[in-house]
Amino acid sequence: MNLNTQKMKKIVAILVIGAGLILTNMMVTANTTKKVAFQEALYKLREERKAQAKLETEEYIQTAAAPMQSGGVRITFNDLREYRYSKRDRYPLPEKLKALKGQEVNIAGYMIPMSEALDVTEFMLVQIPFFGCCYSVPPEPNETVMVKMAKGKKTEYVYTPIRVTGKFDIQETKIDGFVVSLYQIEATSVVPAPNDRDVIQHQSGTALPGQN
C-alpha cells in the first residue's frame, strides 16, 4: 500500500466521521425543533381551552343566573364585611349599613340551622357552607347573619343556596357568651336560589357583567 492510498483512506475516514457528526447534529436539531413546535402547540391549545372555559363561565352566568324576585335592597356579604369587628376595639359603623337598619333587604347564602331541620324558625346565614368539621374555618361575626322568621312563618332546612328577604338590623347575637353574629334579619321570605347570581359569582370567581 503506497503513501497516497493511506492518505486517501484517512481522508475518507475523516469525511465519514464528519458526515456522521453532521447527520447527528441535523437529527438533534430536527428533534429539538419538533419538541419546541410540540410545546408551542400544547401551550396554544391550553390557552385556547382556558379562554373557552372562561367564555363558557361568563355565558353561564349571564344565562343561568336567576332574576331576583325578592323585594328590598339587595346586599351581599361584602357589604357586611365593611363593618370591621374586633373583640377589643370598637370600629365605627359604615354609613351604608347604618342607612339599612330597619329597612327591608335581601341576601343570598347558605343556611345553618340552630336545631330543627323541619319547621325552622331561626338559623344563621353564611356566605359559604360550614358544617363545623375540624377542617372548616368558622365565619367571623361580620360574615354571619342571624335570621329569625317573622311571626307565624316557618321554613325548612336546605343545603343549597337560599335568598332571604326581611327587616335588617344591626345587633349582636351571642352563644355561650361568644359573639357569633353582628346582624339580624326578621325574615318574611326564604326561597331556594341554586342559580342565584351572587352565589354563582362567589363560586366561580368571575365578576358579573357591570360589576367589580
The pLDDT tens digits along the chain (212 residues) read 555 566 565 555 665 565 555 666 666 555 666 666 667 776 776 677 667 656 654 554 444 444 445 678 999 999 999 998 877 777 888 999 999 999 999 999 999 988 777 889 999 999 887 655 555 677 899 999 999 999 999 998 888 899 999 999 999 999 888 899 999 999 999 998 877 777 655 554 443 333 43
Contact call for residues 121 and 150 (beta carbons, < 8 A): no
Quickly list H helices, 65-94.
77-80
What are the φ/ψ torsions at residue 170 (nearest 5 degrees)?
A: -110, 105
HSE-up of 54 (CA within 13 Å, CB side)?
Answer: 8
Q: pTM value?
A: 0.60
Residue 189: beta bridge partners? 165
Place of cell 336545631: 115
Q: In 15-136, where do the E strands start and end?
A: 73-74, 104-113, 122-126
Domain map (residue ranges) of the chain: 1-64, 73-204
Torsion, Cα 165 173 117 128, to 10 degrees, reads: 70
Indicate the CATH number of 73-204 among 2.60.40.420, 3.90.850.10, 2.40.160.60, 2.40.50.870: 2.40.50.870
Largest CA distance in the chain: 120
Cell of 105: 333587604
The pLDDT value recorded for residue 56 is: 53
